Amino acid sequence: MADSKAKAKEVNKSAEIRKVASSMKAKGEKPRPVTIIATLKKQGIEVSSPQVSMVLKRMGFRPQRRRKGGKAAAPRAAAKKIARVKTPVKISVDDLLAAKKVAEKFGSADNAIKVLEALKRFEG
């Protein structure tokens, strides 16, 4: 019998959030979770911020998204400057074997690449 009385005293928190939000909207105030939580706390009802936010979202009281102002066209202009990739050069197995021999002479592929880059700078 004590359980039925406890259930009768329980309140529907979502319904209370909706009531407070509707009354705030009628007064011309923006229903915000912080103010709703404070109002319900005065009535002895404890609710969490995410719960209030979800109820407000379902009611359609979500805040409008703010657009970032300014440089929306800048990334598009940068995209046009990207150089096209050249068609890949066909490399044969003989070329790979020759490159392997060069890499062995310089100790590693990294050293061979550094030497070839230096040679490329001198060639101009």
> Cα(50)–Cα(47) distance, rounded to whole angstroms?
9
Asked whether residue 75 is domain-assigned, the answer is no
Any domain includes 117: yes
The answer to whether residue 72 sits within a structural domain is no
pLDDT tens, position by position, 3-27: 544 544 678 999 999 999 999 889 9
In a domain, 118, yes or no: yes
- What is the residue range of 18's domain? 11-59
Do 52 and 92 sit in the same domain of this protein?
A: no
Check whether residue 54 and residue 94 sit in a common domain.
Answer: no
6 within a domain of the structure (yes/no): no
What's the whole-model pTM score? 0.45
Residues 55 and 94 in one domain: no
Between 87 and 45, residue with greater pLDDT: 45
